[in-house]
Amino acid sequence: MINGKPRTALESVSWRRFLLSSWPWRSVGYLLTTPPVAFAAAVPLVLLGMPWGVWLTRVREGPALPLGSQLSLILLGLALMTALGPLVAIPLGAVERRRLRMVDTRPVRSPHRRPPLGGRRPWVRTRYNEAATWRELTYACVLSVLAVVPGGIALLAVLVVGALVASPFLAGGGRGPVSLGAARPDTFGEALPYGIAGVLLLPALPYLLALLAGAHAVVARALLHGDSDELRAELVQVSRSRARLVDAFEAERRRIERDLHDGAQQRLVSLTLQLGLARLEVPGDSPAAQRLSDAHQQAKQLMAELRELIRGIHPRVLSDRGLPAALPELADQCPVPVRVRTELPVRPPAHLEATAYFVVAEALTNIAKHSGASAVEVTARLRDGLLTVEVRDDGAGGADPRRGTGLTGLADRVAAFDGRMLLFSPVGGPTLLRVELPCSQDVLPSR
């Protein structure tokens, strides 16, 4: 279920509002439309399987055919089903995927590949080489043979309950005894208990119909949904490519931070010291003294800005001591009072630490600029393989990712690690930003 609402007929059976929802009617519609579709599929499949029918008839009734003739009939039926069966199954699969939406609101994707534009591989060859086509043929055969089972059960249940409910009126109308299996009530009073039992069973009918429709839908989705091995392999490949890109990006960030810290910053420190020494050697009342003083101040300001830039790329304290030390230092730089709580029994992987850190940094920047908050609370915890970071403030609220790229960028960064970002920010506040990052990798001992 999503937000407490069922997505399938089977899920709806356990829903408290099932009888007041549309699910019973959707299940009835699905069951009623199944026989026509099954009949439309069964007719051509029966014609294709006629050689098998002739073989079975001759085997049962005789006279027995020669072994060569029997093999010929079996191979002929197999050839017809293999050659022409997909031409029945493919359109049937398309119809069934559309009909499945009646009892399953989840997206249903076609499992078939699209032939490449301008390619030499024809449509027929593409379809006959796909496992999805033969799954659809299997579904067509199952539907043709077993479609009567759920429909028959549903019809029998409706007739039984209907007969029970109507039995007092039939018996009391002077039409003689009413046959209810082993019982044959003859008067209204004798049939009344059966009528009461029928009325009590009426609410159970929608549940039975939903179970039957849901079971059929499970089989249909398993055979017709486009969740093939090839698509799963492509998804795994995309996920691995994304992970490699993220890792390369993080490595590049660290290289830039290291080069700035060990290269440009050290040279800037040396320049600042040389300007300070030059000021001491120049008379204070000379024109050059003022220029050296200005240059010295500018060099110190530039060094402070470079340190902020390096900290923004990847703070050294995060690499050395992790989130428990980096988050309080980040909070000290925020103009709004920030309370930090961390529950990290073990240290998460470096890429998750960096993601959590920059989520908090961006959130605190937005709070300081736009929220008007007077207090902020930051919480980071690691439980059951899930790293959770929450940033809560008492500001004006109304944060909307559509009005800027900051929150959208955070969501994209979190999604790169299969995480999710949740934002609750009604107008008037408060605002809660929650980020959840799966942490299934091996983690380091907490320092």
Q: Using one digit for the tens of pLDDT, what is the confidence trace for 229-249?
A: 444 555 455 555 555 656 665
Query: pLDDT band at residue 313, thresholds of 50, 70 and 90?
Result: low
| Percentage with pLDDT > 70 across the chain | 80
Q: What does the domain layout of the chain look like in residue ranges?
A: 1-227, 229-313, 316-445
Weakest mean pLDDT among 75-89, 187-201, 394-408: 394-408
Query: pLDDT band at residue 446, thresholds of 50, 70 and 90?
Result: very low
Read off the pLDDT of each residue in 110-137 and give the average, rounded to a whole number.
Answer: 73
User: What does the mean pLDDT of the chain come to?
Assistant: 79
Q: Using one digit for the tens of pLDDT, what is the confidence trace for 131-169?
A: 888 889 999 988 888 888 888 888 888 888 888 888 888
The residue among 131 and 59 whose pLDDT is bigger is 131
Tell me which amino acid residue 320 is.
D
Check residue 257 and give its pLDDT. Answer: 61
Compute the distance between CA of residue 355 and CA of residue 436 in angstroms, rounded to an integer: 11
Check residue 235 and give its pLDDT. Answer: 47
Predicted confidence (pLDDT) at residue 211 exceeds the cutoff of 90:
yes
Compute the distance between CA of residue 32 and CA of residue 49 in angstroms, rounded to an integer: 27
The residue among 100 and 253 whose pLDDT is bigger is 100
Read off the pLDDT of each residue in 42-53 and give the average, rounded to a whole number.
Answer: 85
Residues 6+ away with beta carbon under 8 Å from 221: 100, 104, 108
Q: Is the peptide bond before 337 cis (omega within 30 degrees of 0)?
A: no
Structure tokens at 239: 């996920």
Query: pLDDT band at residue 270, thresholds of 50, 70 and 90?
Result: confident
Predicted confidence (pLDDT) at residue 39 exceeds the cutoff of 50:
yes
Compute the distance between CA of residue 311 and CA of residue 308 in angstroms, rounded to an integer: 5
Residues 6+ away with beta carbon under 8 Å from 197: 164
Beta strands at 386-393 and 338-343: parallel, antiparallel or unpaired:
unpaired
The residue among 5 and 63 whose pLDDT is bigger is 5
Compute the distance between CA of residue 207 and CA of residue 23 in angstroms, rounded to an integer: 9
CB 376 within 8 A of CB 338: yes
Q: Which of 330, 408, 313, 442 is nearest to 376 (CA)?
A: 330
CB 108 within 8 A of CB 100: yes
The residue among 224 and 66 whose pLDDT is bigger is 224
- Which CATH entry fits the domain spanning 316-445: 1.10.1740.10, 3.30.565.10, 3.40.190.80, 3.20.20.120? 3.30.565.10
Predicted confidence (pLDDT) at residue 405 exceeds the cutoff of 60:
no
Check residue 358 and give its pLDDT. Answer: 83
Q: Using one digit for the tens of pLDDT, what is the confidence trace for 320-376?
A: 788 888 888 888 888 889 999 988 888 888 778 888 888 888 888 888 888 888 889
pTM: 0.51
Most confident of 104-108, 272-276, 279-283: 104-108
Check residue 144 and give its pLDDT. Answer: 86
Tokens 């993601």 correspond to: 355
Query: pLDDT band at residue 445, thresholds of 50, 70 and 90?
Result: very low
DSSP assignments along 321-371, one per residue: H-HHHHHHHHHHTSSS-EEEEEE-SEEPPHHHHHHHHHHHHHHHHHIIIII
CB 416 within 8 A of CB 249: no
